[in-house]
């Protein structure tokens, strides 16, 4: 049996929608504070997937150690999806870091999840996309942190090969290094709950950073990969 959920998405075998939006929407500053307390922000010299050096590293893998904060981050994305009236039939997390987030988004919105593997297995069904799906349906991609958008793009490509549609992707945080424009070229609408600029402003309020350092970092991150 298929049932439409409150946001118009479809769930299998579960007609009862119990959760969608938070009673009061989660504020960016509230999630920032939780991420700060969980030491998700580190300054220094780190290297990203793209090979680029970054003076600030944001590690949202840490939040799986707090189900409360993990849920808050997922709920913040759900609030945004509902507010923007984004429609989709399945939720897919960009492996691996976003998988716990995607699981909670699927749960909160009562919308089925699929799982995209980084690599297909050489045994079993050898499928790259796991779960039950019908071709022609639409997938929402969920990310933790986005830099270039390449991981989203790769995931969208694998999903589209299965004759599924992908039009929207959401992340907890956009490092604001060109992902929106890159993904738009691939017909993907990208949104995030937090931005790098918001994080840097938050770190200024914590006296962890000066305005001058913030501008140096933004300038550094604006350089091409
Ligand atoms: O926008 P991009 O330039 O693709 O960078 C962002 C990606 O990098 C990180 O994943 P990582 O490659 O470190 O793998 P993991 O999720 O398995 O830790 C992050 O979780 C995103 O998926």
Classify residue 156 as exposed, middle or buried by CB count within 10 Å of its CB (0-12, 13-18, 19+): buried
Q: How many residues are there in the chain? A: 225
> How far is Cα 149 from Cα 82, in angstroms, rounded to an integer?
23
> How far is Cα 169 from Cα 141, in angstroms, rounded to an integer?
4
* Ligand 1 atom 14, closest CA: 96
From first to last of its 225 residues, the chain has per-residue pLDDT tens of 344 444 455 454 444 444 566 668 899 999 999 999 999 999 999 999 888 899 999 999 999 999 999 999 999 999 999 999 999 999 999 999 999 999 999 999 999 999 999 988 889 988 999 999 999 999 999 999 999 999 999 999 999 999 999 999 999 999 999 999 999 999 999 999 999 999 999 999 999 999 999 999 999 999 887
On whether residue 6 sits in a domain, the answer given is: no
> How far is Cα 60 from Cα 145, in angstroms, rounded to an integer?
7
Query: Helix, strand or coil for residue 78?
Result: helix
Kindly give the distance from the C-alpha atom of residue 146 to the centroid of ligand 1, in angstroms, as a whole number.
7
Q: Which residues line the pocket of ligand 1, CB cutoff 6 A?
A: 49-50, 94-97, 143-151, 179
On whether residue 17 sits in a domain, the answer given is: no
Pocket test for ligand 1, best of 50, 145, 171 (most atoms within 8 A of CB): 145
Pocket test for ligand 1, best of 47, 144, 151, 180 (most atoms within 8 A of CB): 151
Q: What is the pLDDT of residue 94?
A: 98
Q: What is the pLDDT of residue 125?
A: 87
Q: Which atom of ligand 1 is nearest to the CA of 118?
A: 17
Query: Helix, strand or coil for residue 14?
Result: coil
| Interaxial angle between packed helices 196-205 and 211-221, expressed in degrees from 0 to 180 and rounded to the nearest 10 | 160
Complex ipTM > 0.90: yes
On whether residue 11 sits in a domain, the answer given is: no
> How far is Cα 71 from Cα 58, in angstroms, rounded to an integer?
18
> How far is Cα 203 from Cα 28, in angstroms, rounded to an integer?
13
On whether residue 218 sits in a domain, the answer given is: yes
pTM of the model: 0.91
On whether residue 18 sits in a domain, the answer given is: no
CATH number at residue 144: 3.40.50.2020
On whether residue 8 sits in a domain, the answer given is: no
Kindly give the distance from the C-alpha atom of residue 151 to the centroid of ligand 1, in angstroms, as a whole number.
6
On whether residue 165 sits in a domain, the answer given is: yes
Can the peptide bond before residue 96 be classed as cis, meaning omega within 30 degrees of 0?
yes
Count up the domains in the chain and report the number. 1
On whether residue 66 sits in a domain, the answer given is: yes
Q: Which token pair is 162?
A: 């299965």
**127-118-224 Cα angle (round to 5):** 140
CA distances from 48 to 58, 86, 101 (A): 10, 30, 21
Q: Give residue 198's domain range.
A: 28-222
Kindly give the distance from the C-alpha atom of residue 197 to the centroid of ligand 1, in angstroms, as a whole number.
19
């Amino acid at each position: 049996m298929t049932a439409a959920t409150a946001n118009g998405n479809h769930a299998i075998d579960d007609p009862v929608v119990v959760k969608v939006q938070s009673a009061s929407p989660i504020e960016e500053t509230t999630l920032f504070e939780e991420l700060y307390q969980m030491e998700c922000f580190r300054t220094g010299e780190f290297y990203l997937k793209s090979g680029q050096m970054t003076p600030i590293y944001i590690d949202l893998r840490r939040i799986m150690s707090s189900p409360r904060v993990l849920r808050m981050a997922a709920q913040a994305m759900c609030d945004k999806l509902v507010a923007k009236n984004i429609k989709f039939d399945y939720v897919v997390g960009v492996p691996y870091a976003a998988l716990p987030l995607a699981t909670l988004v699927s749960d909160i919105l009562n919308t089925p999840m699929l799982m995209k593997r980084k690599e297909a297995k050489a045994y079993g069904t050898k499928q790259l996309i796991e779960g039950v799906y019908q071709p022609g349906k639409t997938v929402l991609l969920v990310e933790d942190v986005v830099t270039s958008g390449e991981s989203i793009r790769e995931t969208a490509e694998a999903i589209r090969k299965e004759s599924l549609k992908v039009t929207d992707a959401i992340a907890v945080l956009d490092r604001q290094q060109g992902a929106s424009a890159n993904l738009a070229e691939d017909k993907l609408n990208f949104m995030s709950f937090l931005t790098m600029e918001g994080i840097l402003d938050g770190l200024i309020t914590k006296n962890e950073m000066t305005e001058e350092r913030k501008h140096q970092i933004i300038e550094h991150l604006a350089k091409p990969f």
